[in-house]
């Protein structure tokens, strides 16, 4: 634990155990189910478990909870490993799968049957639900609860052999159908599933439940602290029940913490899958998705995501973090590292009438104004340039310090220009601006030292790099995506303006970028090169603006 790491209740527990001698080494784990991509909530959980293991000089395990082959794919396994590596979580040689323990788990299920603590039940799912009871009413025993040990062993062996259809029988723990905690009302240990497993193939016709797999896998690996979200708090008595009843090699401790919640973000894996399968987004790594791969494609850095998770902090109660904090962490990270470039997103042409036709003048601009060691780049000025459409007004107010009739502005790094005229189309829209430049202002300064309040960015209209720019806003229009009216679903809260595609023009050097490169487009924000890019079409994603414009927009 470093001096910079704030203490919390999890660390307090660990400190007590280490001080008392109850533990001499800390081992944590991250146990994702490979049925989807990791999201920002997983990034938080990873930081908690990996951070604990690292700070206490312990061990961190990655274990895939691959107990449901009907929904799991190797694609997800590989994506999860890639995301963890990108986030900086190093599991070293400690990569495991729950399927590694299928034989051991089966033997422990047999052990429970022999101890009279498990039985094969013939109730169908609907009947099982009705027998289970409610939060205020006790459940009732299944009519198959008192089968003999011999009959249960025989039926369980037949379940394993594929004799029965899916759903025909399950293996349940025999605990207490009247227990106030519903999780202890004879939970299911095994269900029949005739599905091909991505690692074990067709060996198994039965698969263990999460509750039966989780704690025992922890025990086999010697996990000392099973750190999980608050939703598993009511499962902890069952977690401990299995550890007490089975001859496990170690006794891990489950500790729950509040999961990460963020405004405008949904982290239900089932609902994220719905967004993908119904083509509301282009895939799990769509830049609008709250997945780790989506954030990476949007242009986020691992350090920015980790910093956000660190600032969110570990707590015992659920709370919601502001979306603006997420963007703030990215801006803080990129401010000192992103090269600057000029890009015009909504172009209007300016013709500099006293500039020599066919001539090109090159001006020098810093790659980063605060870091001279980043060097400089050359930008070409030609007779025709593009500026942002909103940097010109026909009848500008007094405090509009950009271009207008008779107004003088500074072209960043280059010179001063003055608007002399403009041209309209048949609909009355301004389509071209005429201007002159002051030859004495080359380098964006003049001998007479006159003060120019307005500085605008620009790009040559003839020597540039055409770009496709995808401007993003949060995927949902409400801070709580599941805040819906009767008859609606979270789909009704999708933001129709979550993606806007622009045809833009950038500096010539942007023709040499590669996927993942990040830049600050001067006066516009931070942008990253999208994997869709090619030599013929360079695509940039807007990662975030230069300030919290989204948060301010929502407050209006």
List all residues 6 or more positions away from 547 whose beta carbon is below 8 Å from its beta carbon.
none
List all residues 6 or more positions away from 47 whose beta carbon is below 8 Å from its beta carbon.
87, 306, 309, 310
Which tokens is 154 given?
């025989």
126 is catalytic: no
From the candidates 11, 17, 33, 151, which is the catalytic residue? 33
174 is catalytic: no
Contacts of the segment 543-548: beta carbons below 8 A, 24+ positions apart: 543/298, 543/299, 543/300, 543/330, 543/334, 543/518, 544/299, 544/327, 544/330, 544/331, 545/327, 546/331, 546/520, 548/324, 548/327, 548/328
Which tokens is 269 given?
């894996």
- Max Cα distance, the chain (Å): 103
33 is catalytic: yes
Per the CB < 8 A criterion, the answer to whether 414 and 407 are in contact is no
From the candidates 145, 245, 259, 478, which is the catalytic residue? 259
Per the CB < 8 A criterion, the answer to whether 151 and 176 are in contact is no
Which tokens is 431 given?
């389509």
From the candidates 172, 205, 269, 410, which is the catalytic residue? 269
How many whole angstroms separate alpha carbon 531 and alpha carbon 541? Answer: 10
Strands (DSSP E) found in 156-199: 170-173, 188-192
Task: Supply the residues annotated as catalytic.
Answer: 33, 259, 269
């Amino acid at each position: 634990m470093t001096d910079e790491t704030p203490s919390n209740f999890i660390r307090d527990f660990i400190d007590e155990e280490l001080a008392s001698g109850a533990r001499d080494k800390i081992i944590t784990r991250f146990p994702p189910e490979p049925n989807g991509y990791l999201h920002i909530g997983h990034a938080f959980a990873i930081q908690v478990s990996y951070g604990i293991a690292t700070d206490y000089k312990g061990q961190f395990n990655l274990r895939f909870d691959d107990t449901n082959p009907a929904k799991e794919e190797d694609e997800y396994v590989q994506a999860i490993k890639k995301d963890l590596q990108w986030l900086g979580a190093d599991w070293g040689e400690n990569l495991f799968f729950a399927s590694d323990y299928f034989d051991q788990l089966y033997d422990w299920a047999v052990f429970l049957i022999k101890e009279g603590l498990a039985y094969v039940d013939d109730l169908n799912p609907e009947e099982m639900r009705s027998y289970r009871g409610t939060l205020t009413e006790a459940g009732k025993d299944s009519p198959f609860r008192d089968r003999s040990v011999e009959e249960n062993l025989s039926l369980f062996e037949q379940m394993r052999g594929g004799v029965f259809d899916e759903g025909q029988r399950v293996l349940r723990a025999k605990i207490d159908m009247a227990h106030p905690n519903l999780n202890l009302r004879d939970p299911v240990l095994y269900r029949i599933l005739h599905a091909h497993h991505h690692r074990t193939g067709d060996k198994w016709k039965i698969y263990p439940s999460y509750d039966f797999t989780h704690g025992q896998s922890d025990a086999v690996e010697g996990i000392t602290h099973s750190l999980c979200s608050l939703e598993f708090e009511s499962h902890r008595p069952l977690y401990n029940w299995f550890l007490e009843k089975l001859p496990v090699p170690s006794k891990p401790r489950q500790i729950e913490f509040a999961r990460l919640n963020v405004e405008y973000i949904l982290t239900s894996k089932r609902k994220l899958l719905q967004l993908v399968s119904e083509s509301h987004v282009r895939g799990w790594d769509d830049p609008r998705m709250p997945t780790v791969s989506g954030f990476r494609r949007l242009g986020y850095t691992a350090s920015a995501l980790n910093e956000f998770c660190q600032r969110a902090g570990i707590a015992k109660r659920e709370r919601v973090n502001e979306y603006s904090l997420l963007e703030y962490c990215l801006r803080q990270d990129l401010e000192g590292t992103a090269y600057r470039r000029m890009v015009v997103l909504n172009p209007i042409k300016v013709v500099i009438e006293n500039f020599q036709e066919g001539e090109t003048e090159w001006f020098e601009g810093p790659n980063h104004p605060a870091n001279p060691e980043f060097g400089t780049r050359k930008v070409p000025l030609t007779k025709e340039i593009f500026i942002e459409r909103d940097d010109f007004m026909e009848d500008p107010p007094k405090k509009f310090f950009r271009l207008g009739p008779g107004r003088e502005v500074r072209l960043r790094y280059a010179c001063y220009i003055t608007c002399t005229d403009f041209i309209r189309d048949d609909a009355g829209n301004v389509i071209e601006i005429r201007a002159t430049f002051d030859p004495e202002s080359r380098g964006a300064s003049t001998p007479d030292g006159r003060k120019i309040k307005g500085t605008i960015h620009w790009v040559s209209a003839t020597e540039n790099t055409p770009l496709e720019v995808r401007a993003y806003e949060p995927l949902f229009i409400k801070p709580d995506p599941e805040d819906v009216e009767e008859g609606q679903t979270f789909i009704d809260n999708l933001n129709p303006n979550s993606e806007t595609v622009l045809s833009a023009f950038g500096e010539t050097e942007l023709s040499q970028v590669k996927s993942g490169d990040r830049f600050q487009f001067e006066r516009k924000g931070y942008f990253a090169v999208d994997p869709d890019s090619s030599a013929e079409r360079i695509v940039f994603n807007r990662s975030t603006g230069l300030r919290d414009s989204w948060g301010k927009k929502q407050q209006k």
